A and B are shown apart, each in its own frame.
Chain A
Amino acid sequence: MLEYVEKIRETARKLFKDDKVDVFIGYKKGSVPMMNQPVLISNADQVDLLCWDSNCGLNLCNYLTKRKDRIGIVANGCNSRNIVTHITENQISRDQLYIVGIPCKGMIDQRAVQRAVKQKEILEIKEHGETFTVKGKDFEETFNKNDYLQRNCSVCTHRNPVISDEMVASPVEEQSGVDAYKDVKEIEEMDPKKKWEFFTQAIDKCIRCYACRNACPLCYCPTCFVDESKPQWVGKSNDSIDTMTFHILRAYHCAGRCTDCGACERVCPVGIPVRQFTKKLNKDAQELFSWEAGLTPDQRPLLDVFRPDDYNDFIR
């Protein structure tokens, strides 16, 4: 995916030159390895800041909400689906956007890599196509990228953007035969007591920093329910019931909207498997309504339509 960088810069430069955008949103190289920073550039002189590699895991759609200007933005599969969701939910208008589509082969799970090198400090990472090499003070190891993908990327079936104005490269082959919901099925098979234990244990370490919520492009409410004070729905301490309420209610707010971009899980500072809360709802949306979020701007969001021909009896 490294070869995309020049093409992204060239495209951004041209967009500024042709006065097609006011700003361009992409990623720049981070100050620590495996960490890139979302960046907003506003003129052609800054385009060389733009980069792309397998560490662009934060969802850029976050930065589009309610903007008024003309925006160029890079988007891989999941980010493009969130842009679609943003468009259908009236958070941004399609004609404000120039979407530079990126065929994506997945992001590296930095924590899995850190575990693989036994938590030794990684000082440098280099990608070479299907493999990458990490270096530290007294070690150097090369891994297959496919073995260290973020978990959402390893089961992704929408690697290519669903919407774009220009592509930086030809589409990549979509993964087939992946069981996207293997982990959800395992939880579904638990009895209620076990399920409760699973989720209680999962959030045990939560420090209520709200990184998961804030990294999520779906969480754009002007005031989140956990921040309401009149009335106050949820307690603010680290009491486990309040914490659980936050996670479960947030997940329900994402029902039929989540694209499994994995940003929530990636940003959690204490390693909570946050996706497990939303994934079950993605599975339900797919099984009950043949719905996957953000595939086309021509369809209204799942939960704001009534269809007289709905195949479920209860609604008729």
Chain B
Amino acid sequence: MTKKIYTKEEWIKALAGLKSSYNIFVPVKEEGFHTFKALDEKKSPDFDFQNTRLSPKSLVYPQSERLFEYTLDENAPDANIIKESEKGYFPQAIVGIRPCDAHAFQIVKPNFDNPEYQDPWWIKRFESTTFVGLGCNDPSSTCFCTSVGGSPFSEKGLDALLYDLGDTFLVKALTDKGEKFLNQAQGGKEADETTLKAGEDLAASASDKIEHKISTDKLKDKVQTELFDAPFWDDVAFACINCGTCTYLCPTCWCFDIQDEVLEKQGDRIRNWDSCMFPLFTLHGSGHNPRAKKVQRVRQRFMHKLKYYVDKYNNGVQCSGCGRCVRNCPVNIDIREICELMNGFLHKNQ
């Protein structure tokens, strides 16, 4: 597999050269925080960041996506016939994605792509994406990837990985997709042994910088109903304002709602992100709401991530440890503390 070294200027130039083969998305600094944007001459990428405010999940799974369309015009030959909307799946590359966010796509994959159900739009966009990661030299104090199956230089879910060596990037291909991407990238030179060693050292030292560890080892053995009835949920939920910040910033939250929107005779069937924090999320047509109370919704979020997912997929927890919800929850509800509560919970009979 290709291993190359680029000066940072060369790398950005190489990315620009790839624009005819890929839609390239890079971290860009916007008014105080970073976000993934299409590579554009007007705004240069900024790889000097901890992580983007919003996760890159929208690049595979847009917040709003038209799935189908139809016309209500009775005179049209296809009146009232629903048709799949045309979508483009031109190859895209997310360059600079953090290993936790790439891992997150692997965590959500069993939901969108499993033997029973295949979500064609998620799968097509996922498959058309090349994930070029950027290892974390200086993880944030709210990061906990090493507790949930990742690490600052984890290769999980990545096609290539960048090592920031100061003035240069070492880039390694990890899969055929990554190899193809790097083979098309102009410039750079073959990485020598010293550079590779520098990359390895960097990765090893970064792992030690993750100070926060959480325990997830006992979650699997807990009884769902006992955890569900645990006495701590009221306290956990008190401060929650039931906004969607945690779920919308989360790279592993996948829930959606499907809505029909009609303007005059034109109808669109749209899939929008939804959030288990919202009362409407579970409101039945009958008017009954099985999760009418805040505490039920808060419990659902944590039970889903840290228990139901664990039991259903045998793939660890539904969390990649990116720490976005920890940093951005308006009322400081900290998943690390709640995971400890759940993992350490002992039923009164135990």
Contacts and interface: CB of A to CB of B under 8 A. Distances in A.
Interface stretch (B94-102, B166-174, B330-338): B330-338
Interface string A57-68: 010001100000
B326 interface: yes
Nearest to B138: A137
A190 interface: no
Contacts of B257: 236
Interface stretch (B79-87, B144-152, B273-281, B300-308): B273-281
Contacts of B247: 209
B31 A39 contact: no
B53 interface: yes
Interface stretch (B116-124, B194-202, B224-232, B238-246): B238-246
A53 B280 CA distance: 36
Nearest to B263: A235
B33 interface: yes
A302 interface: no
Contacts of B235: 40
Given A32-B142, A237-B261, A62 B241 contact: yes
B32 A31 contact: no
B239 A37 contact: yes
B245 A209 contact: yes
B330 A267 contact: yes
Interface stretch (A113-121, A156-164, A169-177, A180-188): A113-121
Q: DSSP class of B's interface residues: helix, strand, loop or mixed?
A: loop
A211 B244 contact: yes
A129 interface: no
> Among A111, A123, A236, A239, which residue has the most Cβ atoms of chain B within 10 A?
A236
A266 interface: yes
Contacts of A200: none
A227 B243 contact: no
Given A38-B331, A267-B245, A271-B33, A207 B54 contact: yes
Contact of B334 (A31, A38, A211): A31
Q: DSSP class of A's interface residues: helix, strand, loop or mixed?
A: loop
> Among B142, B248, B257, B275, which residue has the most Cβ atoms of chain A within 10 A?
B248
Contact of A38 (B32, B54, B239, B261): B239
Contact of B332 (A32, A121, A215, A236): A32
Interface in B209-240: 235, 238-239
Given A32-B327, A38-B238, A209-B245, A111 B32 contact: yes
B50 interface: yes
Given A207-B54, A237-B261, A215 B142 contact: no
Interface string A213-239: 111000000010001010000011111
Given A30-B332, A115-B32, A211-B243, A236 B248 contact: no
A44 interface: no
Interface string B325-349: 0111011111011000000000000
Contacts of B249: 269
Contacts of A111: 32
Contacts of A63: 238
A150 interface: no
A270 B248 CA distance: 11
A119 B330 contact: no
A210 B243 contact: yes
A111 B327 CA distance: 12
Nearest to A209: B244
B320 to A, nearest CB: 18
Contacts of B50: 119, 121
B206 to A, nearest CB: 13
A40 B244 contact: no
Contacts of B334: 31-32
B245 A269 contact: yes
A36 interface: yes
A267 to B, nearest CB: 4
Contacts of B266: none
Interface of A: 30-32, 35-40, 58, 62-63, 111, 114-115, 119, 121, 123, 137, 207-211, 213-215, 223, 227, 229, 235-239, 266-267, 269-271
Given A38-B238, A236-B270, 20 more contacts: A31-B332, A32-B141, A58-B241, A115-B32, A119-B49, A207-B244, A207-B248, A210-B243, A211-B245, A213-B243, A215-B241, A215-B243, A236-B257, A236-B272, A237-B259, A239-B64, A267-B241, A267-B245, A269-B330, A270-B54
